[in-house]
Structures are given as C-alpha cells and as structure tokens.
Structure 1
C-alpha cells in the first residue's frame, strides 16, 4: 500500500527529543521512509526545543515516539530542566493515551515513558550496549496484529542504559531477548513500546554512534568495536512494525 492509498487524512505525530540536528533530522527521515508517510502526514514535534503542543487524539491517526538521550531512571538532581519538562508532558499524554487506548508506538524511549506510567521498575539491570541482538516473539507476539507475520526470531538494533526489569501483569509481553527480557510489550489493544529501534538502518545507527560517542554508551577506545558490532548481522525485519502500524491506524 502506497502513502496515497492510506485511508483518511489525519496525520501521525512523531515526538522527538534529540538536541543534535544531524541525528534528529535523520531520525525523522527514517520514520518517513519506513512508515511510508509523506511529511504532511508525519508531524514532528521536537520536545527538546519547545513545550509539547496540545495533541487532540481525535484529530490524529496515532502517536510515535523516537529514541532519546533522556533516561527515566536518572536521579532527579541529574535531570535538566528540559528533561523534567519533557517527562511531565509525556506523562500527561501517556496517561490519556492509555486511558483511551489510542494508537501509540514508542521506540526505546517509549519503554521509559510507558514503564513510568505503569510504575514498572526501570533500571540498568538489562542495559544493552549499541549492537545487534536476536529478538524472539512470544506466543502473544506471534498472534498480535502488529507483529503477526514477522519472523519468530529477528535481528534488531539496540543501545540503551536502562530497561524494564519486570513487566507488570497489566501489560502483554510481545518480544524478548536473552540480554533484555522486555523488548516489546502492549497495553490494552493499541498502545505499544519497543526497547529495540524499529526505525534504524545501518547508516542511521552509524550516525548515532558518532553523534553520541561521548555519552557513555561505549568507551572512548571502543568506537571501532561498536561500529563492527552493528554490522555483524543484517537487520531488516523491525522496520515492518512502522509500516504495519501506519496501515493499521491511518484514518
């Protein structure tokens, strides 16, 4: 289905928080590419620059959340004023999304925002270095309309300092990996989060590796090892989630 074949005309919203223009613009371009949406149907909001505008969930097809340098588990005194504002705005939106079971897909940072809403433990127990990991669908994942038809096990890009260490029973686990038990989950019928990055390709993750070299994701002498780690296996399946999300919820 091409973008011109999608039903309706309501845009999707991409909530972004990357301060660096290079990675931020490439993230938006990747979401455009893998959702298949034209720019007029994927409205980007850069929350690190401006407060979140009012989002009328009845006027949009769905909400997407990109990755973020923010960590929900950081001590409050280490959080900048911008991070605290973004977290408060996201908490208010997520509460409405969950209450209304509105279409939502959060990539990486979505785990932190939804996990915080659930009061789930979020810590560094299952942090993963920037790399490619093998993710496996659960029985529920094989039956879920967003992941149905995906390979039972697939390669995905990861890189995060925190993760949910125990998923509450109100959520449905859809995918897991040996190094991070909660790789994807669902709330209700329409609210999703992935720990892995469905929007990334090799070029995209290489851009981020260089942009965030000093952010503690890997050591100062590990740049070449990290670049090699993301090339160890082809990654093609995760981006299907974005296209399926759009095809399922466009209106």
Structure 2
C-alpha cells in the first residue's frame, strides 16, 4: 500500500540563507512535490508544534552545531534543537517512523543510542570515497548503490564508538562510521546526501569563516569539489522516500 502522507524536513541551521538552500536541495533530491515536503525550522519552532503521525517520514538537515560542545557552552537554541532531535529519535524507534539523520544529526542519534562522538574522525571539506559493509550491501536503503561511491563531507566530529544496537552500513578511509541503521527504519549519515557539487560549494562559501577550513583555501576546495562525480547520495535519499512509502 502506498503511503501518500507528506514528508517532514527539519532544519537545524540558524542561518536563513543556508536553510533556504538546504530546503531546495532536499526537494530536488527527493523529487517530492512541494505539497508533500513540509518544512520546520527547529531553531525557530518546536517539534511539539507538529504531529509526527501525519508524516510518512522525516529528514533532518545538517548544522554548524557540534554535539561535543560542552553543555554550558551550548547556546539556548542548540539546547532546544538537540532536545527535540532526541525526542524524535525516541519516538521514531518506538513507533517505527522512518527517519534519516544527516551530518550533525548523526551525533545526536549516536548519543541517544549510547555510542560515543568525538573529534578523532572529523573530515575536511571534500569529496570522499564511501565503502559499503556487508550489511550495507544487503540493506534496503544502501544495497542498490554502486560502491565505492563519492559523497561530500565536512565535519569536526563523528561517531567514534558505534552504538551497540546500530548496524554499520558504510565507512570512509578517514571516518569509520558514515552510515548506520538503528531499528528497522531509523538511519543516520555523516555525509550530506542532498547536495550537488554546486550546492556544496555554495554552502562552503557561506560557512567559509566557521573553522571547517582556512578561508583562503575556498577556491582550491571548490575546484576539487566541482571535479567530483556525486550522484549516489541523492539516489539514497530518493530511496529513503520510496522505502517510507513515497
């Protein structure tokens, strides 16, 4: 039976220009019509303002926040964003709601599940090769992807200890945990699945002074990114929509 409920995109970035671009990227990548992709900014609104049972699935965007920031140093907006992402994880695992956490969100989910997040496996802003595990080759979300495939990354922290109940689906040379599944239909990716190379360059430009890379290296990074072929992550995002009933 086809589930014709809409999907929900949760933005957790506080920068309006980045939010607008992320929404456009996710809409194009999922190929969902506008009326089937609802959007909520968790930096402005709370998760309690929506009924999660109204949605076929949920996608969480990335953020410049880091879960490893000491709690007293986290701004109030980050604290309430993380609290809502924790509630979403608990709800999804209990109610079998399809959810895809990306980038920053994988750190939140890892902590909810009892894993560890740290700076050891941060990756520079770049295209990287992603390799599937045996479980990844068999998983309904990632199993149809050619491997290795190229994805776009840029993060200061990552999962260092996989949660005991998580199933590792993919890794990269610099980051052992790139994709995993928890329960039946809760997924997390360290890379950004929604972006094209042009999208990623625009995002890097916006965040050039956020400490991901020396700002004077932006042009060189853009050249490398522009030369990459990055298609599999967007197919994976479309597959998530298909699996959730879309």
Shorter-chain TM-score tier: over 0.9
CA distance in 1, matches of 2:153, 2:136: 19
2:218 is aligned to: 223
> Is residue 77 from structure 1 mapped to residue 91 from structure 2 by the alignment?
no
CA distance in 2, matches of 1:240, 1:15: 20
Equivalent pair of 1:132/1:232 in contact (CA under 8 Å)? no
DSSP 3-state at the match of 2:228? coil
The RMSD of aligned alpha carbons is 1.5
1:201 is aligned to: 196
1:130 is aligned to: 125
Instruction: Please state how far the C-alpha of 1:248 moved relative to its aligned partner.
Output: 1.4
Equivalent pair of 2:115/2:164 in contact (CA under 8 Å)? no
2:8 is aligned to: 13
125-134 vs 97-106, which moves further = 97-106
DSSP 3-state at the match of 1:221? helix
DSSP 3-state at the match of 1:7? coil
DSSP 3-state at the match of 1:222? helix
> Is residue 37 from structure 1 mapped to residue 32 from structure 2 by the alignment?
yes
18-27 vs 191-200, which moves further = 18-27
CA distance in 2, matches of 1:114, 1:97: 11
DSSP 3-state at the match of 2:233? coil
67-76 vs 216-225, which moves further = 216-225
178-187 vs 30-39, which moves further = 30-39
Of 105, 112, 117, the residue aligned with 1:117 is 112
CA distances 1:118-155 after superposition (whole Å, capped 9, x unpaired): 12110100000110000001000000011121012100
Equivalent pair of 2:106/2:188 in contact (CA under 8 Å)? yes
Of 26, 29, 43, the residue aligned with 2:21 is 26
Instruction: Please state how far the C-alpha of 1:69 moved relative to its aligned partner.
Output: 1.1
CA distance in 2, matches of 1:190, 1:103: 5
CA distances 1:38-80 after superposition (whole Å, capped 9, x unpaired): 1111111011122223443332101100111111111112211
CA distance in 2, matches of 1:97, 1:123: 25
Instruction: Please state how far the C-alpha of 1:88 moved relative to its aligned partner.
Output: 1.1
Instruction: Please state how far the C-alpha of 1:31 moved relative to its aligned partner.
Output: 0.7
CA distance in 2, matches of 1:127, 1:194: 14
CA distance in 1, matches of 2:129, 2:149: 6
CA distance in 2, matches of 1:223, 1:37: 32
CA distance in 1, matches of 2:207, 2:81: 20
2:205 is aligned to: 210
> Is residue 103 from structure 1 mapped to residue 98 from structure 2 by the alignment?
yes
CA distance in 2, matches of 1:119, 1:184: 16
Instruction: Please state how far the C-alpha of 1:93 moved relative to its aligned partner.
Output: 1.6
Structure 1 unaligned blocks of 5 or more: 1-5
Structure 2 unaligned blocks of 5 or more: none
| Paired positions, count | 246
1:3 is aligned to: none
Equivalent pair of 1:176/1:182 in contact (CA under 8 Å)? yes
